[in-house]
Amino acid sequence: MSENPLDRYLRAEAAPRRRHFLGPFVAVLGLALVLAGVLFATRWLDDTAFLQRQQCSVLLGSERYVLAPDQTRNGSIIAAAGLERGLDRHEVMIALATARQESKLRNIGYGDTVGPDSRGLFQQRPSQGWGTEEQIMDPWYAANRFYQELETVPGYRDLSVTEAAQAVQRSAYPDAYAKHEDVAAAFARALTEGEPGAMSCTLKATPADQAELSHKAYAAEMKRFADALSAEVQLKTDTRSLRISVPDDQTGWRLATWALANAEAGNVLSISFNSLHWERGKRSWNSTDEPTEELVITFVN
């Protein structure tokens, strides 16, 4: 018996319809797998310190501001020098914005065509009486010299960043300082106020022999910052760690933030205070089940 032509037609039509139905399904499945792969790769990149850009960040409002580790270290010295002189967050913000404009917060040993002998964080000129080149290249000296000049400006505590910075620097671009005000405000707050976990840093693992500061030098700088706060602290050191007893939580967090700002220079492995813990290779402070009243800083070795 021959096949009914209608049956043959219906069978021929069914196969393409099944293929047409499966095509979009396969495409959607493939897209889902691609998206899952991208999500996995993104999270893996986020959690892999070796592939991350080293940085320190501060959240101010809804905005996150970022500096490189060397910029953060220089910023912490500027903040410490300001506190050492009894100045407030506003004056520290002025100094940070100024240094950000003049040198990008880097301790550079060269100037420009206008000031070829300009040097350091604030591009101060030996020929203009700011000090010797050796002195100006010392961030502590440069910061104090900036503040010394700022303190001679009438009403400096009430001036805007642009007004105060220009009064000291006498720049050909007086309005340029204002564009750094937000990042300066964020880091000035973090470095002076003592808010828990206000700043976070992502640092790669590095060999211990490449550290800029020895354990002894790092401890000495911590002591100087504590002195700038007029804080009574006790430092205990051994081959792997530095333990600091502090009089109150605000002082402890000021010191913890400063310790983190200098973690790259001192090759710090971890920092713990109260119920928070930071570790090299991680992106942020995390809660710990073992709170400590001491500020505990552990070195790579």
Q: Where are the domains of the chain?
A: 1-47, 58-193, 202-299
The pLDDT tens digits for 152-186 are 999 999 999 999 999 999 888 888 999 999 999 99
Q: Of 262, 265, 268, 285, which Cα lies nearest the Cα of 75?
A: 262
Tell me what pLDDT residue 43 has: 44
> What's the start-to-end Cα distance of the chain, in Å?
91
Query: Which residues, listed in sequence order, are joined to residue 63 by a DSSP beta bridge?
Result: 60
- Please give the C-alpha separations between residue 166 and each of 57, 105, 301, in angstroms, as whole numbers: 27, 17, 45
121: three-class secondary structure by DSSP:
coil
Q: Of 159, 156, 160, 135, which Cα lies nearest the Cα of 147?
A: 156
Tell me what pLDDT residue 27 has: 55
Query: Which residues are within 8 A (CB) of 57 and not within 5 positions of it... i.e. 6 or more apart?
Result: 64, 65, 66, 67, 199, 200, 201
Instruction: Please answer whether residues 100 and 184 qualify as being in contact, where contact means their C-beta atoms are separated by less than 8 angstroms.
Output: yes
Query: How many CA atoms does the CB half-sphere of 241 hold within 13 Å?
Result: 11
User: Any idea which fold 58-193 has?
Assistant: Lysozyme (1.10.530)
Please state whether the predicted TM-score (pTM) of the whole model is above 0.85: no
Tell me what pLDDT residue 40 has: 46
The pLDDT tens digits for 59-94 are 988 899 999 999 999 999 999 999 999 999 999 999
- Quick one: average pLDDT of 30-41? 52
Instruction: Please answer whether residues 192 and 79 qualify as being in contact, where contact means their C-beta atoms are separated by less than 8 angstroms.
Output: yes
With a cut of 60, say whether residue 279 has pLDDT above it.
yes
Tell me what pLDDT residue 143 has: 98
Q: What percent of the chain has pLDDT over 90?
A: 68
pLDDT confidence tier of residue 104, bands split at 50, 70 and 90: very high
Tell me what pLDDT residue 184 has: 97
With a cut of 90, say whether residue 19 has pLDDT above it.
no
Q: How high does pLDDT run on average in the chain? A: 86
pLDDT confidence tier of residue 23, bands split at 50, 70 and 90: low
Residue 232 CA to residue 241 CA, distance in Å, equals 20
With a cut of 90, say whether residue 242 has pLDDT above it.
yes
Query: How many CA atoms does the CB half-sphere of 40 hold within 13 Å?
Result: 6
